[in-house]
Each structure stands twice: as C-alpha cells, then as structure tokens.
Amino acid sequence: MAINAKKLAKFCRPFRIILGAALIGYGYYSGNSWFYLGAIPLIAGIIGICPACAITGQCTITGKDK
C-alpha cells in the first residue's frame, strides 16, 4: 500500500514551522520532554507534507499548490 503525501497549502507551512519551533522551545525551557513532539509539525512544515493526510488518504487542506 503506497502512501501519497499531500502538499500543504502555502499558509500552513509557515504556521507549522513556527508552531513546531515554539513547542520545542517551550519544551527546552520548561524541561517537559512531551513538548519535543513539536518536531512533528516542524518537520512536516519543512518537508511540506501532512502526516495525517498521508496516513488516512484524506485531506481537508485545499491549496492551489497541489
């Protein structure tokens, strides 16, 4: 079963990068290691894929840069 990754809309990529960096920064600041899961949206924003869309095959993000 091949997983096709959907492209993120242009407005979602910077949002995910900022959110991921903020979560990692807060995790480092607070010492709570659960916030290091911010690496998921950070990597998703940098690479340009949506992991949830790739797994389910459905995407609610409708961008013109498909």
pLDDT digits 0-9 by tens, 14-50: 888 999 999 999 999 999 888 889 998 898 888 877 7
Q: pLDDT, tens digit, for every residue of 44-66? A: 888 877 777 777 776 665 554 44
The 10 Å CB-count burial string (b at 16+, else e) for 51-63 is eebeeeeebeeee
- Domain that includes residue 49, residue range: 1-66
The SS3 call for residue 46 is: helix
pLDDT at 5: 43
Residue, of 7 and 32, whose pLDDT is higher: 32
Six token digits for residue 33: 């290691």
Which pLDDT does position 11 carry in this prediction? 73
Spatial CB neighbours of 26, under 8 Å, sequence gap ≥ 6: 32, 35, 38
Tokens standing for 8?
């993120």
| Number of domains into which the chain is organized | 1
Q: Kindly report the number of other CB atoms within 10 A of residue 6's CB atom.
A: 20
